[in-house]
Structures are given as structure tokens and as C-alpha cells.
Chain A
């Protein structure tokens, strides 16, 4: 792939996102094949330009390619997409936006129905966003669409990032009576005497939670760096580009946490070894 300036890369990602959105569900074409052809076309156009290629140079090429919204005739668009377009093409194309916000407000008023209304509101917002393609073209509609998106993204982000950490904490609180297939499991180092167990509990629990959290977050950070498009697709339109600085910071934090957890574990084992040595030599 040709090297692009960051703003140009964002423009290209947005354009390819719109291309996928407009060709999705269209049974007469293979969207991934069209995407490859368009990518090759763009690379061919840009190959002789100085690198990294600028935003304006890329924009010129994309203008020549035209909007993906015009590429497929109406009869080849799937029925569900046409229905969404019709729903959206109300007075000033605001119907889906109104619908989304109303559902969310009703969800908060009648909170028993929130688990159903919030996801439906979210789907309406994503559908409206997908139809417009470029979030910059939403205009004031974003005030109607973004609340449900933000609410759902916060929920999803919380469970992706913090959910497993809660599980690790839960397991750590059960260290005293863990059992596996009916067998009691002792997570304390081999000879920890009962009087030491209360003292040893906290470093072991810290080592366990920090180590696993660090490892999990490290995997999350690497996955985001490796496949930024997945994060962009999940959190569209708020995540643009690969957020290189933020993901490096997240990975650094994960490594520190992993190191702290490992260090605490190693220290506990050293302490246990030292304690065993004292017992063995009759010093204690």
C-alpha cells in the first residue's frame, strides 16, 4: 500500500468504509473484489506522486472515482436497504434520527424496556450513519443519533476493557475456598502456614489480578494495533485512524501492570523460599 499522510489515510479509510456500506448486501457484485479493484486503481493513480501522499492529491483521485453511492443501480440494492433509505428520506432525511432518539428517551423513561429499546435505537443510529456514509455529512442529525451510539459504545467498551478484570477480582476473592471438580485448590505457595495466609493473601491476589489484567490488556492493545479496522468498525464514527499514540499508551500501561503482577508473584515465591530455608535450618 502506498504511504499516505495521516489525514489522507483517514480520508481513504472513510471512502472505503462508504464503499463497503453501499455495496453490502448487493447480491450482484462481490464487494471485496470491488474494494480490491478500487484500491489498485488508487495505488496506480498515486504511484508516481511524492510520498507520503497528501490529502489533496488523494481527494482528487477519489473525486474522479466518484461516490460509491452512485455505483449500484437501485434495482440491485437489497430490499432492506431500500426500506431504510425510504425511512430515512422523510422530511429533510431526519426520520431515522428522530426515531433513534425517541426510542432511547422512551427506554430511559420506561427503564424496564431499556434492554430492548437501547439496542434498537442503536441499530437505527448505525443504519442512518451507514446510509449517509460520511459522518461529517450528518450535520445537526448527529445530536439525535450520537446519544444512542455513545450509550452503547460506553457499555460495550466497559465490558470489553473492564469486564474480564471484574472476573479476575471475583476469582481472587475466592482464593480461600476455590475448588475445582470437587477438589479444594490451594493457590498459596506450597508451605504457607496458616498464620501467614492473611498476610500473603494480598500480594498473591494483587499478582494474580494485575498479571492477568496486564496480559489481557496487552493482547487487546496488540489486537487493536494489528486490526485497527475492527475497532473502527465497532466504534464508528468515533474511532478514526489507528489511534497509534493512544494504543501505544494502552500497551505500555498493560506491560507495566503485567510486570508489577509478575514481580509481586516472584517476590512472594522468593519470600516463601526464604521462609522454607529458615524452617529447614531450624532458625525459625
Chain B
């Protein structure tokens, strides 16, 4: 029962954070989908399955937050690179601010109780 509660909580928490994580990873870079998946799966507990990021990237593209460019690769098939759009950068700045404020608020409570 306890475990189910924790699982539900982490699932809900992960959803928004994963989107934030993807946008932050792409910021200032042109990244291949595979590299984005690998960078994020290195964060413990953030990515349940590496495939999760691809529908999110597709949604970001539809919403105009990222663009893609396809380039030939010497190692194999052509690769698709993701890059933030101006709109994506604007939203990311807002999201980071929001996240920082929530995190510092929670940290404040947490700090008060542990000190």
C-alpha cells in the first residue's frame, strides 16, 4: 500500500520534471534524441524508460518549443537533431523560475524541520 502511494507520487512528480529536464538538456545545444535520452537516464529515478522522452519531444515540436533538423551521419542513418525555439527558450525560463521558487519554498520547510 505504502509502495503504491510512493509509486503514484513519483509518477506524478516525474512527469513535469522530465519535461523540464528535456528542455534544460537541449538549451544551448543541438542534440540527437538518443543523446537526450542517455543524458536524462543518467539522473537516478527521473526516466523510467528511455523511450518516454520521444513522445514528449514530439509534443514539444507540435507546440513549437523545439525544432528538428536532419543531418547525414558518417556512422549510420541520418540523425535528427533537436533545438530550442525562441518560444521554447521563453517557456523554459518561466518554467525554471517556477521550479526554483517551488523548490526553495519546499527546501525552506524542510530546513525548518531538520534544524
Contact = CB atoms under 8 A, between A and B. Distances in A.
Contact of A66 (B52, B62, B76, B77): B52
A282 to B, nearest CB: 74
A237 to B, nearest CB: 22
Interface string B53-97: 011011101100000000000011101100000000000000000
Tell me what chain B mostly uses at the interface: helix, strand, loop, or mixed.
Answer: helix
Interface string A14-41: 0000010001001011100110111011
A40 B62 contact: no
Interface residues of B, number: 22
A236 to B, nearest CB: 21
A38 B51 contact: yes
B20 interface: no
Contact of B51 (A29, A36, A41, A43): A41
Given A37-B54, A68-B51, A30 B62 contact: yes
B48 interface: yes
Contacts of B59: 28-29, 76
Given A30-B62, A40-B34, A41-B34, A70 B48 contact: yes
Interface residues of A, number: 27
A33 B79 CA distance: 13
A112 B34 CA distance: 55
A37 B80 contact: yes
B11 to A, nearest CB: 9
11 contacts: A19-B51, A28-B58, A29-B59, A30-B58, A33-B58, A37-B80, A41-B37, A43-B76, A66-B52, A71-B49, A71-B51
Given A28-B58, A40-B34, A43-B76, 11 more contacts: A19-B51, A28-B55, A29-B55, A29-B59, A29-B62, A30-B58, A37-B33, A40-B33, A66-B49, A71-B49, A73-B15
Interface of A: 19, 23, 26, 28-30, 33-34, 36-38, 40-41, 43-45, 47, 64-68, 70-73, 76
Interface of B: 15, 33-34, 37, 41, 48-52, 54-55, 57-59, 61-62, 75-77, 79-80
